[in-house]
Amino acid sequence: MCFSTIRQMIKFFKLFLLIFMYSILAHGQIREVRSRPQGWIGYMTSTRISDNYSVWNDAHFVPGGFYVLRTGLTRHLSSQANITAGYAFLGLPAGGVTKDLKRMEHRPWGQLVVSNALSPTWSNVTRIRYDARFRRNVEDGNLTHGYGFNHRLRFMASFRKMLPSLKISGDSETFVAFADEILVNFGRDVVFNAMDQNRVTITTGVQKERITWQIGYMNRFVQLASGNT
Flag the least confident range among 82-86, 116-120, 159-163, 206-210. 206-210
Query: What integer pLDDT is reported at residue 1 of this predicted model?
Result: 46
**H or E segment at 4?**
helix 2-25
Average pLDDT, stretch 14-21? 58
Question: Which pLDDT band holds residue 181 (cuts at 50, 70, 90)?
Answer: very high
- Return the number of other C-beta atoms located less than 10 Å from residue 132's C-beta: 16
DSSP secondary-structure letter at 23? Answer: H
Q: Are strands 81-92 and 66-76 parallel, antiparallel or unpaired?
A: antiparallel
Query: What integer pLDDT is reported at residue 32 of this predicted model?
Result: 82
**H or E segment at 152?**
strand 142-162
Q: Cα separation of 208 and 57, whole Å? A: 20
When the pLDDT of each residue in the chain is averaged and rounded to a whole number, the result is 86
Query: What integer pLDDT is reported at residue 81 of this predicted model?
Result: 96
pTM: 0.82
Contact between 39 and 62 (Cβ < 8 Å): yes
pLDDT, tens digit (0-9, with 9 covering 90-100), for 34-64: 888 999 999 999 999 999 999 999 999 999 8
Q: Cα separation of 173 and 170, whole Å? A: 8
Query: What integer pLDDT is reported at residue 33 of this predicted model?
Result: 84
Query: What integer pLDDT is reported at residue 223 of this predicted model?
Result: 78
Burial (CB count <10 Å: 0-12, 13-18, 19+), residue 168 = exposed
Question: Which pLDDT band holds residue 190 (cuts at 50, 70, 90)?
Answer: low
Query: What integer pLDDT is reported at residue 76 of this predicted model?
Result: 97
Q: Cα separation of 73 and 46, whole Å? A: 9
